Structure 1
Amino acid sequence: MRIGFWGAILLLAAPLAFMLAFFAAPFVAIAFNSLQDPDGGLSMSNYVRLVTDPYYLKAMGTTLSIAGWVTLITLLLGYPLAYFMVFRVRKRWLKRILYILVVTPLFTSNVVRAFSWIILLGRNGFVNDLLIWLHLTDKPLPLLFNKVSIIIGLAYIMLPFMILSVAAILQNLDHRLKDAARDLGAGPWSTFFHVTLPLSLPGIVSGALMVFTLCVSAYVTPSILSGGREVVMSMLVFQQYATVLNFSFGATLAVALLITAFLLLAVYHSARFAFAKARQMRGNHAA
């Protein structure tokens, strides 16, 4: 039975109202506030200050680079784990246990997890003790209160999102495609790179987008694990709103961060679409 026009309107009314009330309206208010000068008039002075001050540009670069590294690390760690859970673990009860272990860190407070990493990454922490015991270094490495500690802490938090996104796609793949590839003489690695990996790209893309956007807006973990030595945009936004009480410039930082993230995602989607179109054209020419 098909849903009529008014039935579709009724179904969409609640989620659209929610998005308008809790996303669109606050964003418009913040965007308008970012254009206000101290006298209450409209001005681009806040944005001029943002793009001409190297301090804020460096903070933006630090935020995006941390988000990029975390996305890459979670993909490199999460994809093999998701592949193992889907294709190598046969017993259902064991799969359930593994999924529970994957999502368990999400039930712990970000503050608790961040302070746990302070203990682990300190000069006398477990990680440095292990590296010295394995003779990989002669002295403790500076792993704490820098960009490295932020990346490690965020990667630990974001890893479940990547694993679950990839696993959701892998477990719905048609296994007959892999069997057909093997019947045609493809080896395990050839089957993976030509069948499994391309078909799992939607999971990789959704996981990467989720991890990247969450890292860009992360505040608690960077503020604790940076030790005040690294600054990301979310920390500056909080500083402007809670300490400096410069609401208009805080709104400017928030809007700039959101627009930058949207632009990067748009470029990524455009490149992915162009790559898929070029691949389709090559396939048509080959046929």
Structure 2
Amino acid sequence: MSRLRTPFLLLVIPLAFFAAFFLAPLATVVIASLTSSNGDTGLTFDHYVRVLADRYHWDVILVTFRIGLYTTIACLLLGYPLAWYLVRIVRWRTWRRVCVIMLVVPLFTSNIVRSFGWMVLLGRNGLVNDGLMGMGLVDRPVRFLGTELGILIGMVYVLLPFVVLAVGNALACVDTSLEHASSDLGARPGATFMHVTLPLTLPGIMSGAIMVFTLAVSAYVTPALLSGGRISVLSMLIFQQYSSVFDFHYGGALSVVLLIFTMAMVGLAARVGTLKGSTL
């Protein structure tokens, strides 16, 4: 009897924690989004109609997911070569550990601090503009703050380590003898990468991409600070409804819409990744 009780307790405690701190808040938000703010009883979809029937909200949704998509693509393009360098090129273990530490340490710093740092760097008289003008690439300061480009730069900096760690772990698990066998059979390095290495690291690519995308579309601090209020994303609207307007019903509808759209995009990406992996 005691042998059965121990696994049962080990299972009940995580499930209880999951129910108390995830399912219960999620149910509260969903119920609030389906009830009227006037105190009337019964379910209503008025808040969802208000969100989905307004062009402004669709523009905000488009901006939110465009920034999330661009951030994911940029992190993959930058993160894969960096992960390759750490796993395949660096042979000195001490230097590899130093690189990993430098990659992970910023994650222990608040996003607020890092975003304020980028506000200084990307300002009109910041280091980035001074460098561009000093190299003669631009004649006048480039406006980064208050633009999607500025938000994208900050988001890539914050989320890049997730892709590097995920892809690096996948690369470390690849059996290099398969790549050597491909080369021995006459395949060029590019063909070996496309048909051997890339398919084997696709799970790491997908996991990193999903983490970055979900964190990017739900981010608040970095877009709020680097946009200067000129660009709105869904997380900013949700925060405004909960903290300033105190309309929990409308804010709940915005939250559920963000959750549904994010889950749909992640599911589509996972499906495409599966089909691509089978094709490769």
**TM beyond 0.5:** yes
Deviation at 1:244, TM superposition (A): 0.7
Identity %: 47
CA distance in 2, matches of 1:111, 1:225: 10
Does the C-alpha gap of structure 1 residues 53 and 147 become closer, same or farther in structure 2, counting only changes over 3 Å? same
Equivalent position SS for 1:200? helix
- Which whole-Å deviations, capped at 9, do the CAs of 1:42-91 have from their partners, x for residues lacking one? 21100000011122211111111111111000100000000010000001
Q: Which residue of 2 aligns with 1:249?
A: 250
Give TM-score scaled by structure 2 length.
0.94
Q: Which residue of 1 aligns with 2:198?
A: 197
1:74-93 to 2 correspondences below 5 Å: 74-93=75-94
CA contact (8 A) 2:206 2:270 kept: no
Q: Which residue of 1 aligns with 2:131?
A: 130
1:38-57 to 2 correspondences below 5 Å: 38-40=37-39, 41=41, 42-57=43-58
Deviation at 1:179, TM superposition (A): 1.2
- Which whole-Å deviations, capped at 9, do the CAs of 1:253-287 have from their partners, x for residues lacking one? 1111001101111222223334445x28xxxxxxx
Gaps of 5+ in 2: none
Compute the RMSD of aligned alpha carbons. 1.6
Q: Which residue of 1 aligns with 2:166?
A: 165
Deviation at 1:206, TM superposition (A): 0.3
- Would you say 1:23 and 2:42 are equivalent positions? no
Give TM-score scaled by structure 1 length.
0.92
CA contact (8 A) 2:119 2:226 kept: yes
CA distance in 2, matches of 1:276, 1:76: 18
Which amino acid in 1 is paired with 2:11? L
Out of 5-14 and 113-122, give the one that drifted further.
Answer: 5-14
Q: Which residue of 2 aligns with 1:68?
A: 69
Deviation at 1:177, TM superposition (A): 0.6
CA distance in 2, matches of 1:124, 1:181: 52
Which amino acid in 1 is paired with 2:94? W
Deviation at 1:132, TM superposition (A): 1.5
Which amino acid in 2 is paired with 1:24? L
Q: Which residue of 2 aligns with 1:284?
A: none
Which amino acid in 2 is paired with 1:214? L
- Which whole-Å deviations, capped at 9, do the CAs of 1:179-199 have from their partners, x for residues lacking one? 111111222222211211111
CA distance in 2, matches of 1:36, 1:235: 22
Deviation at 1:129, TM superposition (A): 1.4
Which amino acid in 1 is paired with 2:54? D
CA distance in 2, matches of 1:57, 1:124: 35
1:99-248 to 2 correspondences below 5 Å: 99-248=100-249
Q: Which residue of 2 aligns with 1:285?
A: none
Which amino acid in 1 is paired with 2:59? K
Matched residue count = 276
CA distance in 2, matches of 1:131, 1:116: 18
Gaps of 5+ in 1: 281-287
